[in-house]
Amino acid sequence: MFEFCRHSRILFSILIFVSVSLFPFSVHASVNNESAVEIMPNKQELARMGNWADKDCDALLNDAIKGDEAALFMVGYAFLTGRLGQSINVESANMYFSMSASLGFPLALNQITLMYIHDKNDPFLSLIYLNLAASYDHPELLKSYHDLRAKLIVNFGPEGGQRIAAEIERIAEEKRMKIEKNKKDIKRPENMTSEFNKVLFTENIIHEDLIYTHDYWESIFEGNTRE
């Protein structure tokens, strides 16, 4: 147990070298001060977010709770930065980011990565969401992910580290499959009530993260079979 805890602290100390520039939606990340990457919205994402440039917060929120992933991200951003007449509320921001991430919006997946680094101090879940953000058309994040993956294996050793890395990638694939299902289900008429889309509240991909505890990862590290 002591060895696992020590390696976890080392990995987190590497991940914590992440600096965030909130405007204009850019994130600068460095891996142990050796390399830097920047996530920026692509043309499609900018166009999606630009749909609400002339709308007030109520109109934006209305589009969001009906299941528009870009609108959900923008509501989260408004809570994170105190824009559109909102006071800053990080918990509310993360709630909307998680809904957007559950529909595969890469900038929201990146915000969940940062949530697990800065708010939750969880290096393993942060790598899962970094994996997902990179896989949704943001190849500029690939080097950061692979550098951190390699450092994880070095810190935890070739056997335990490989087991943890494999589990991170298994969970990421499982979440990606759920995201793709959500993207289909969000369009089904039976999931839309008069006020909101039920998928946003019943199929959030971070709800299951509660099972990935310290004991869970220690068990993976030690090579115990998952139940």
Digit-coded pLDDT (tens) for 19-38: 333 333 333 333 333 444 56
**Has residue 204 been placed in a domain?**
yes
pLDDT at 61: 85
**Has residue 27 been placed in a domain?**
yes
**Has residue 227 been placed in a domain?**
no
Which residue stretches of the chain have pLDDT < 50? Answer: 2, 4, 6-7, 10-36
**Has residue 104 been placed in a domain?**
yes
**Has residue 149 been placed in a domain?**
yes
How many folded domains does the chain comprise?
A: 1
Q: Which domain holds residue 64?
A: 2-222
**Has residue 23 been placed in a domain?**
yes
DSSP output for the chain: -HHHHHHHHHHHHHHT-EEEETTTTEEEEESTTS-EEEE---HHHHHHHHTTTT--HHHHHHHHHTT-HHHHHHHHHHHHHT-TTPPP-HHHHHHHHHHHHTTT-HHHHHHHHHIIIIIS--HHHHHHHHHHHHHTT-GGGHHHHHHHHHHHHHHH-HHHHHHHHHHHHHHHHHHHHHHHHHHHHTT-GGGB-SS-BTHHHH--TTGGGGG--HHHHHHHHHTPPP-
- Summarize pLDDT for 157-201 with one digit per residue, the tens: 999 999 999 999 999 999 999 999 999 999 999 988 878 889 998
pLDDT at 3: 53
pTM: 0.83
**Has residue 184 been placed in a domain?**
yes
**Has residue 26 been placed in a domain?**
yes
